[in-house]
Chain A
Amino acid sequence: MSIKRKLLLTLGVGLAFITLLGLLYYYNLVTIRRRLLLVEGMDDLGAAVGEVRRAEKNYLLYHDSTSARELADQIRLLRQAVQDKTPDLISLAGADSVNSLDRRIDQYATLASRLMGGEEAAGDADQLRETGQALDRSSRSIVRAERGRIQRMIVTSHRTLLLSLIVLLVCGTAGSLIVTRLIVAPLRRIERATRDVSEGRFSPIHGIRGHDEIGRLAEAFNHMVHRIEKHQKELVQAGKLASLGTLTSGVAHELNNPLNNISMIAQTFIQHRTVLTEVEQVELMDEIEKQCERSKEIVHNLLDFSRVRGSERVASDVGQVVERSLKLVQNQLDMAGIVAELKTTDPLPLVRMNPHQIGQVLVNIYTNAIKAMPRGGMLRVESAPGADGEHVVVAVSDTGVGIPPELHPRVFDPFFTTSDVGGGTGLGLSVSYGIIKRHGGTISVASEPGKGSTFTITLPIHTGGSDDEREPQDPGGGR
């Protein structure tokens, strides 16, 4: 079910509940009001009974025709009042009590007419008085009972109102908790995952299922992460190829040395084979073999660097990677007349990393440094445990042209380059930045124009343990 539907349903149920409650209270109020009106009507009945009692008192006092007539009138008025109110009385006190009231009035009227007709028996006057009192009590008790019932209705109303408020509060709280769980919690996870992506960690979101908007969002997010990761890999490869261009020229020159040696041996052999002893001839052939090995190794290093790699990480020594990648650019350094100085704490704490990617980052920084020192200079590479005890720090300093301060924030931007057209893709440092970020590290630059630049990389020290780890291996597979 979609979130829209879920929300509409929840709101609908809530609204229906509140409407039902409202209707209930409306009905209650109407009932109470009607009953109050009835009770007010009963007050008229009480007043009629009072009038009868007053006339009765006068008659018993004076025994004259006026008061007799008045009593008869009042009894008639009371009958009339009771008759008028009969439906109300039945609904208030039930048919039984109305019947008993009627009987009492009849009894009273009979007594009164007996007294007024002169057929007075002994004690009739007292009986009339008692019946009058009973009549009074009956009418009062009906009113009292009804007032008590109204009171109880109001109290019950109060209680149910309070109870339903509590139910509403509990349901509301539970409802919002459920909504939080259903909607907000997955949104938070997506938010976290998005932040991860912005920091270069491309981990898909797992465990958000369902066909609602969030499920679809998570699915789209995972698709996006997958695509970004793929592009990132392509970008890493593109950056590598860019470095490779620079490396290749160095390697090509480097190959000239063994080639020249082989060529010179061959020419010497051809020119002077007659004067060479057999031992010397074998030595020369051995030498050719060695030079072939040397060429193979030069080419191998380059191929090793250029190969597309997975992104699996192993606990490795950064120092070794630093050294190996420096060897890759050694020719460039030689050609540019740059002296390299390597300083490493041995052994360094292990770092969980992909040695090829970190090597790529270093080669990139080295080649940038070489470009920054066209007239030669000094390349200082220092790797040591960080002061915080949690990182390994690699600092690469050159004595090159430096980077103007206003360009510092842009050096890690994609396609930013100070090279002329064709000089650089501007991908190297941005790719490096991505690689280091994904390793949970940092890369920063400090530079002074005319004096040189220092690129500093920090990588978190591997704390060991939890994940299934292969032994630190030789990631180059031989050099």
Chain B
Amino acid sequence: MSANPRILVVDDEKIVCDMSRICFTNEGYDVTTFTDSTQARAALETETFDVIITDLKMKEVDGLELLEYAKEKNPDTKVILLTAFGTLETAVEAFHKQAFDYFTKPVTIRDLQESVRRALGREGEE
């Protein structure tokens, strides 16, 4: 593989973006983060990502919209949803729209890392 896997993290909580960057960069991923979901969608116009980790409830474009948009642009992109307001309805809707995973906050970074590895088909790697 010529380049590191690309991860896009979108969350209006800046800390989620920052910590994800630190953790995933150290794991050898190429990490891009946005706290503004509109900018994230704009980025999807031109770039492709292997995994997208996105918050569900965001001011402008919400996680489900971003999921649909990303899947439309590149069906191979795996989308992991994060939310502080987890409900069965949004979870079902997310999986209907081909979300790869769905986490409710607070989330452990290990779980996220594990999920990303599974998304990339790298189970068992550490």
| A residues with CB within 8 A of B | 253-254, 256-257, 259-265, 267-268, 271-272, 275-276, 287, 291, 331, 334-335, 337
Contacts and interface: CB of A to CB of B under 8 A. Distances in A.
A262 B108 CA distance: 11
Interface in B8-57: 13, 15-16, 19-20, 22-23, 26, 57
Contacts, number: 62
Given A261-B16, A291-B15, 17 more contacts: A253-B84, A254-B84, A256-B104, A257-B84, A257-B105, A259-B106, A260-B106, A261-B13, A261-B15, A262-B106, A263-B106, A267-B19, A267-B108, A268-B19, A268-B22, A272-B22, A337-B62
Interface of B: 13, 15-16, 19-20, 22-23, 26, 57, 62, 84-87, 104-110
B106 A256 contact: yes
A334 B19 contact: no
A281 B79 CA distance: 30
Contacts of A257: 13, 84, 105
A268 B57 contact: no
B101 to A, nearest CB: 16
Contacts of B87: 335
A430 to B, nearest CB: 30
B74 to A, nearest CB: 26
A331 B13 contact: no
B102 to A, nearest CB: 14
20 contacts: A254-B84, A256-B84, A256-B85, A257-B13, A257-B105, A259-B105, A260-B13, A260-B84, A261-B15, A262-B106, A263-B107, A263-B108, A264-B19, A267-B110, A268-B23, A268-B109, A275-B26, A334-B85, A335-B87, A337-B62
Contact of A253 (B13, B85, B110): B85
A287 B19 CA distance: 11
A264 B17 CA distance: 10
B4 to A, nearest CB: 17
A21 B17 CA distance: 107
A411 B5 CA distance: 58
Contacts of A261: 13, 15-16
Contacts of A337: 62
Nearest to B20: A264
B15 A265 contact: yes
